[in-house]
């Protein structure tokens, strides 16, 4: 089933994007909740006209997103986490943790625009997340998960 999204939807697409979904998901959830409309020929023509008008506005947003992307790529991010046996983490690292770590570096990015392979990470190592800063600006962001350093108490 081909639909036109009326708002951003996690793990599916951005507003005014034509997506293909399973019939039940579109018919039972997206359309009744007003998050999408059926992509008929006339709806596609209206969408094309609206997108043409929005293109000039989007150019400014794309430039800002590219600027943010370059700034984020300059950050060498290391997330520390508690470690159990070997390289297994206590708990896991998710897009929320990556969003918080980027915020500490001064680059605010909502967790819904961060995609981590497998949704969460449970081992130490180097990984790569996909950051969607704009419909046309998607970057691969490398980061590393390191063991949290233990603080030792000094007894006298």
Residues 130, 87 share a domain: yes
Per-residue pLDDT of the chain (156 residues; tens, 9 = 90+): 999 999 888 788 888 889 999 999 999 999 999 999 999 999 999 888 888 888 777 788 888 888 888 887 887 888 888 888 777 888 888 888 888 888 888 877 888 888 888 778 888 888 888 888 887 788 888 888 888 776 555 555
The verdict on 80 and 106 lying in the same domain is yes
Q: How far apart are CA 91 and CA 94, in angstroms?
A: 10
Q: Is the pTM of this model over 0.85?
A: no
DSSP, residue by residue, 8-68: -BTTTB-TT-EEE--HHHIIIIITTTTSEEE--HHHHHHHHHHHHHHHHHHHHHHHHHHHH
- Residues spanned by the domain of 35: 2-60
The CATH number linked to 86 is: 3.10.430.100
pLDDT at 109 (0 to 100): 80
Rounded Cα gap, residues 58 and 90, in angstroms: 42
How many distinct structural domains can be found in the chain? 2
Q: Within a domain: residue 156? A: no
Domain harbouring 48, CATH code: 3.40.5.10
**Looking at the structure, do residues 77 and 52 belong to the same domain, yes or no?**
no
């Amino acid at each position: 089933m081909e639909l036109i999204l009326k708002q951003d939807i996690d793990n599916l697409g951005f507003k005014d994007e034509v997506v293909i979904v399973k019939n039940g998901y579109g018919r039972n959830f997206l359309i009744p909740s007003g998050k999408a409309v059926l992509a008929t020929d006339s709806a596609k023509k209206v969408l094309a006209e609206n997108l043409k008008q929005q293109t000039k506005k989007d150019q400014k947003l794309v430039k800002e997103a590219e600027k943010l992307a370059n700034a984020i790529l300059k950050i060498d991010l290391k997330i520390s986490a508690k470690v159990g046996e070997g390289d297994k983490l206590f708990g896991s690292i998710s897009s929320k943790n990556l969003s918080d770590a980027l915020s500490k570096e001064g680059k605010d990015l909502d967790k819904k625009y961060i995609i981590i392979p497998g949704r969460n990470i449970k081992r130490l190592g180097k990984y790569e997340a996909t950051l969607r800063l704009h419909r046309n600006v998607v970057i691969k962001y490398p980061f590393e998960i390191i063991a949290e350093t233990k603080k030792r108490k000094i007894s006298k």
